[in-house]
Amino acid sequence: MKKSLKRIDAHLSSLGYCSRSEAKQFLKRFKVCVDGVRVFDVSKKVPHDVVRIEGEPLDPEALLILMHKPSGVICSHDDAGVLIYSLLPERFGRRNPKLSTVGRLDADTTGAILLTDNGTLNHQLSSPKSDVTKVYEVTLAQALRGDEAALFASGTLMLNGESKPLQPAHMEVMSSTQVRLEISEGRYHQVKRMFGAVGNKVVALHRVRFGVYDVEDLGLGEYRVLDFGV
């Protein structure tokens, strides 16, 4: 397959290294090489995979990132407070298309969240119909009453304001106030609303896994760039 060619300034600007107008200065400040030869001509058309900046390959043309989100961090581009994008390299925030979270985690929720600049993939993964499994560790305000696991697994639980019951969810009891919950939908505030429907309240929520990706080897605020695709 023939590789697509782009101007060097287009590569740099789309990946957030600099603007197109800044590209000439960028090539003077940093050693940008094509097939091992340093270049200064921003108009040179080359494939993505032959460009190196200070010996390092360019960031992927499409990004998929797994982050271990800390508490107090907001999954938004423009709300007040500490935004999730501030935990990433600055150039990631200047990419075009823009990097966005796959769904959201509340500010007080920790754990696995994906970010991507591929709109099609984002929609596929965040849609309530995606069937991507998510696993949560849930801490509750009150002791379990005993019938929650059976109710959640039944596929009959109807949330307030919804017209369709939830798909079956698997719940593992860890203590009287702690459970591990696996769901395959992504409805708004789903876990908190599920326990609200049975008269309880979630006081701490941690997403252990999103699809095949878990954050067991990532510290709070750490991230990993994934091979694109799931």
The secondary structure of 10-31 as a DSSP string is HHHHHTTSS-GGGHHHHHHHS-
pLDDT digits (tens, 9 = 90+) for 103-145: 999 999 999 999 999 999 999 888 767 789 999 999 999 999 9
Q: Do domains 64-127+214-225 and 134-210 have the same CATH topology?
A: yes
Mean pLDDT of the chain: 94
Measure the CA–CA gap between 115 and 108, rounded to whole angstroms: 18
DSSP structural state of residue 196: H
pTM: predicted TM-score of the whole model, two decimal places: 0.90
Region 51-58: mean pLDDT is: 97
Domain 134-210 superfamily per CATH: Alpha-L RNA-binding motif (3.30.70.1560)
Active-site residue, selected from the candidate residues 106, 108, 131, 147: 106
Q: What is the domain class of 64-127+214-225 according to CATH?
A: alpha beta
- Label residue 170 by pLDDT band (50, 70, 90): very high
Per-domain residue ranges of the chain: 6-57, 64-127+214-225, 134-210
User: Is 84's pLDDT higher than 50?
Assistant: yes
Q: Is 35 a catalytic residue?
A: no
User: Is 2's pLDDT higher than 80?
Assistant: no
Which among 13, 67, 35 is positioned nearest to 226, based on CA atoms? 67
User: Is 83's pLDDT higher than 50?
Assistant: yes
Measure the CA–CA gap between 150 and 128, rounded to whole angstroms: 22
- What was the pLDDT predicted at 229? 47
The CATH number of 6-57, from 2.40.37.10, 3.10.20.600, 3.10.290.10, 3.40.800.10, is 3.10.290.10
